[in-house]
Amino acid sequence: MKQTELLWDMPITLEILDASVSKKDFDEIFSYFRTIDDTFSSYKKTSEISRINHGDLVRSNWSRDMETIFSLAEKTTKETNGYFSILHNGMYDLSGIVKGWAILQASDMLKKKGLKNFYVDAGGDIQVSGKNSDGKPWRIGIRNPFNRQENVKILSIVDHGVATSGTYIRGQHIYDPFHPKKQITDIVSLTVIGPDVFEADRFATPAFAMGKKGIQFIEKLEGFEGYMIDSGGVATYTSGFQSYVYKDTAIN
């Protein structure tokens, strides 16, 4: 079974291959994603994060999930030497960390139900579990930022997460916290493979903010691989990246 809904201003797709899956399983996951949106969306005036930003909610009344995300954000800021930041123009924006975290929570919910073969894709950030319908590793494409109709690589992934940061879809929405007014133009896409989608996602954005040296940062992270495409269409990847490649297509 496969289902796609438009949430968080992006398509979220869930496919579950286990014979025991039911419509209720899908309903519960998408209901959870709507709760996440109601809590963390800075575009909703009634969300918890909006109430925090406007001074309407003191920290002692924050939800457990909000405390968790702020703690994880602080940890990520330290681990990226300040290149990860949730404070933008005096307001908290948690979009750089909450999406991967929520996808991983949804994946854990499915596993607790005894479901083993599935993938969750939210705007290109993906968590896979088990095998695909052919009984093989899941195939995940890395889009060509200069031609979004084609992939530059097809990855072969089992029980890992993949996250991509870039400016080729949403424009210049990622910034270097040390030079917030300077646009990042030397690279256009950076894909990270991690032990799970939360870990991949929380490092993909700050690595992109580092520009061309971001791929070197990913190289040094144990258990992670990365693939960067610069503004000239040249790809650079980490030393173990090729072990995940199922098929080369365009940019090498």
Give DSSP secondary structure letters for 73-92: HHHHHHHTTT----EETTEE
Is 169 a residue whose pLDDT tops 70?
Answer: no
Tell me the pLDDT band of 69, cut-offs 50, 70 and 90: very high
Q: How high is the mean pLDDT of the chain?
A: 93
CB burial readout 224-249, b (16+ within 10 A) else e: bbbbbbbeeeebbbbeebeebeeeee
pLDDT at 63: 98
Is 247 a residue whose pLDDT tops 80?
Answer: no
59-73, 138-152, 210-224: least confidently modelled range? 138-152
Is 175 a residue whose pLDDT tops 70?
Answer: no
Question: What are the Cα distances from residue 105, in Å, to 52, 100, 151, 196, 247?
Answer: 23, 9, 28, 11, 30
30-44, 175-189, 206-220: least confidently modelled range? 175-189
CA dihedral 144, 147, 150, 152 (to 10 degrees): -20
Tell me the pLDDT band of 170, cut-offs 50, 70 and 90: low
* Residue 242 DSSP symbol: G
CA distance 164 to 206: 11
More confident residue, 247 or 119: 119
pLDDT at 87: 92
CA distance 76 to 53: 21
Q: How many domains does the chain fold into?
A: 1
Task: Summarize pLDDT for 196-206 with one digit per residue, the tens.
Answer: 999 999 999 99
CA distance 4 to 27: 11
CATH of the domain at 148: 3.10.520.10
Tell me the pLDDT band of 4, cut-offs 50, 70 and 90: very high
Domain holding 186, by residue range, is: 2-248
Alpha-carbon torsion (59, 61, 62, 65), positive or negative: positive
Tell me the pLDDT band of 250, cut-offs 50, 70 and 90: low
Q: Which residue has the tokens 């499915």?
A: 110
- What average pLDDT does the segment 17-44 reach? 97
Is 182 a residue whose pLDDT tops 90?
Answer: no
Contact 138, 16 (CB under 8 A): no
Give the rounded percent of residues in the chain with a pLDDT score beyond 90: 86
- What average pLDDT does the segment 3-8 reach? 94
- What average pLDDT does the segment 53-68 reach? 97
pLDDT at 177: 79
What are the φ/ψ torsions at residue 78 (nearest 5 degrees)? Answer: -65, -45
Q: Which residue has the tokens 């039911």?
A: 22
Q: Both tokens of residue 51?
A: 């109430």
- What average pLDDT does the segment 225-231 reach? 97
Tell me the pLDDT band of 89, cut-offs 50, 70 and 90: confident
The pTM of this model reads: 0.93
